[in-house]
Amino acid sequence: MESANNIDLQTKMKNLFVYFEYCLKHCLRSDYSNASEQMFNMLSFGIISACFNIDSSSTLALESSYRSDALAVAKTLLKTLEV
């Protein structure tokens, strides 16, 4: 993989990932201020993982239910914050 050896690209992608995670946690905190930092970390990881999974498998021509199942996972994760 070309990107594995490209430090500049790795740095840019890492910064983008960290910023995306920061923004997601910020949104979660504003909507669910009573949750713990550990919970925000776990949920942002789960939601980002679902996003990356959908993106990385988009060329596989999977059934449309795959995308809707990923959305259901994200919604289920968010429900854990509802107290």
Q: Judge contact between 42 and 81, C-beta under 8 A.
A: no
What span, in angstroms and rounded, lies between the C-alpha atoms of 40 and 53?
20
Indicate the pTM of the whole model.
Answer: 0.77
Q: Which domain holds residue 13?
A: 3-79
User: What local confidence, expressed as pLDDT, does residue 81 receive?
Assistant: 87
Count of domains for the chain: 1
* Helix, strand, coil fractions of the chain, as percent rounded to 5: 80, 0, 20
> Which stretches of the chain are DSSP H helices?
7-31, 37-56, 64-79
Chain segment 14-62, per-residue pLDDT in tens: 999 999 999 999 999 999 988 999 999 999 999 998 888 888 887 888 7
